[in-house]
Amino acid sequence: MVRRIAFAVPGDIATPTGGYGYDRRVIAELQAQGWQVDVMSLGDGFPRPNAEQRAFALARLKDVPEGVPVVVDGLAFGALPKEAEAIRGRAPIVALVHHPLALETGLSPAAADALFESERDALACTERVIATSPSTGRLLSEDYDVPPDAITVAPPGTDRGAPARGSTDGIVRLLAVGAVVPRKGFDVLIAGLAPLADLPWRLTVAGDLTRDQGAAAKLEADIAEHRLVGRVELLGTVSPERLGALYAASDVFVLASHFEGYGMAYAEAMAHGLPVIGTTGGAIGDTVPANAGVLVEPGDVKALTRALRLMIENEAERRWFASGALAAAADLPTWEETARRFASAFEGLA
C-alpha cells in the first residue's frame, strides 16, 4: 500500500527561511522513506490573505483526493479557519505549527488577537497537529485548546558539521543568522554591542534583507547611529555553502530573537561547535542547554551586553561553551529521525 499525503505550503517552498527549509527537508526524507508526497502551493498573501487568495487556497485544498491526509504549513493554516472547516471530514487535516502567528514581534494588540482567534479556530478543525518543539507543543495545548494526545513533536533535524576553526587574527568573529525581521531582535543586538566598541570583534549577519524593508532600514540606521559601520557586515541571503564557511570561520553565534518556535540556526551553530548567545524566547531554551551558551531574557540589552563581553573577552569561556555545544549537538535529531516522528502523526489516519 502506498503511503500518501498532500503537503500544502503558502507561496514558494523554495523561500529561504527556516520554516520552508524544514518543509523541504521533511518532504525529501519522507519520500526517501517511501512516502508519496504531493506538494502544493496555496498561493500568496499569508498570513493575511484577501478574499481572492482565500478562495484560491480553498480550491487547492479541495483538489486533495478524498481521504488523503493533508499537511498544511502553519503560516497559511492559522489564517484559514473557515476554509479548514469547509474541508473538515473530507480529508484528515494535519497542521504543522512552526510558531503561532500571534507571537510575531511587532503586531498591534488587535492584530495579534485576530491572529490568535483565527489560528485557534483553525486548529479546532484538525485531526492532528505537528509542533516543532516541546515548548510550542505545550503552548498549543495550554493556550490554543489542542488536546495533548493530538500533538506530535517533530523538532528539526540538524546536519552534523565540522567544528569551527574560528578566527586567527585576535578579532572575535560574531555570526548572526536569520531573516531581518522584528522578531529576530537585531535592534537589540546592535544596542547590546554598542557599549563594546573598545573590544576586538566583528559581526556578520547572514539573512534575508528583503522580507521586511522597515526592519532592514532600521538595522542599517542603528548600525550608523551607534557608529558601528565597518564592524557589522550585512550579507543578505547566502548559499548553504557560504553559510557553512561562515560557521567555520566564526567564534561565537549570537541572535537576540524575541521568540522562536524552535531555533534552527541555534542548533546549526552548536553542530559547528560555536558557543551561543541567545535569549529565552519561546523554545530556544529547549534547543540550547546551559553548557552550550548564555541565554538572556528577550529585549534585555544590558544582560545581552554582559553575555557578549564575557564571550569576547574570555577565550577560555568560549572554549568551554564550544565543547558543551558540540556535546549537545550530538543529541539533536537527524532529519531522518525528524521525518519518522513527523510520519507518526499520520498513524490511524485515512
How many CB atoms neighbour CB 268 within 10 A? 22
How confident is the model at residue 162, as a pLDDT?
84
- DSSP letters, 165-190, are ---SSS-EEEEEES--SGGG-HHHHH
Query: What is the predicted pLDDT for the residue at 160?
Result: 85
**DSSP readout, 65-95?**
PTT--EEEEHHHHTT-HHHHHHHTTTS-EEE
Q: Which of 13-22, 264-273, 289-298 has the lowest mean pLDDT?
A: 13-22
User: Comparing C-alpha atoms, which of 54, 51, 86 is closest to residue 70?
Assistant: 86
32 pLDDT exceeds 70? yes
Pairwise CA distance, residues 6 & 40, whole Å = 7
Strand, coil or helix: 113 = helix
Q: What is the pLDDT of residue 348?
A: 82
Confidence tier at 327 by pLDDT (50, 70, 90): very high
Strands (E) located in the chain: 3-9, 35-41, 70-73, 93-97, 128-131, 151-153, 172-177, 201-206, 232-236, 252-254, 276-279, 293-296
Q: Which of 222, 166, 227, 218 is nearest to 198 (CA)?
A: 227
Element spanning 230, H or E = none
How, if at all, do strands 172-177 and 151-153 pair? unpaired
pLDDT of 173 above 90: yes
Contact 94, 32 (CB under 8 A): no
Cell numbers linked to 7: 503537503
Kindly report the pTM of this predicted structure: 0.92
| Grid cell of 90 as nine digits | 473530507
Residue 16 pLDDT class (50, 70, 90 cuts): confident
Cell of 188: 537589540
Q: What average pLDDT does range 90-117 have in this prediction?
A: 95
CB 162 within 8 A of CB 272: yes
Domain 172-329 has CATH 3.10.20.340: no
Average pLDDT for 235-261: 96
Q: Answer yes or no: is pLDDT of 323 > 90.
A: yes
Q: Which three cell numbers stand for residue 75?
A: 503560516
pLDDT of residue 2: 60
Q: Are 293 and 321 in contact (CB under 8 A)?
A: yes
In CATH terms, the fold of domain 3-157+333-346 is Rossmann fold (3.40.50)
The whole-number average pLDDT for the span 127-147 is: 97
Q: Is 350's pLDDT higher than 80? A: no
Domain ranges in the chain with CATH number 3.40.50.2000: 3-157+333-346, 172-329
Mean pLDDT of all residues in the chain?
95
Q: What is the mean pLDDT of residues 313-341?
A: 96
Q: Are 277 and 254 in contact (CB under 8 A)?
A: yes
* pLDDT score of 349: 82
* Whole-angstrom distance, CA of residue 206 vs CA of residue 257: 14
pLDDT band at 24 (very low <50, low <70, confident <90, very high): very high
**Separation of alpha carbons 349 and 138, rounded Å:** 23
Furthest-apart CA atoms within the chain: distance in Å = 65
Instruction: Give the pLDDT confidence of 195-241 residue by residue, as tens digits.
Output: 999 999 999 999 999 999 999 999 999 999 999 999 999 999 999 99
Q: What is the mean pLDDT of residues 263-290?
A: 96
pLDDT score at 296: 98
Strand partners, 129: 95, 151
Q: Over range 123-140, report the average pLDDT.
A: 97
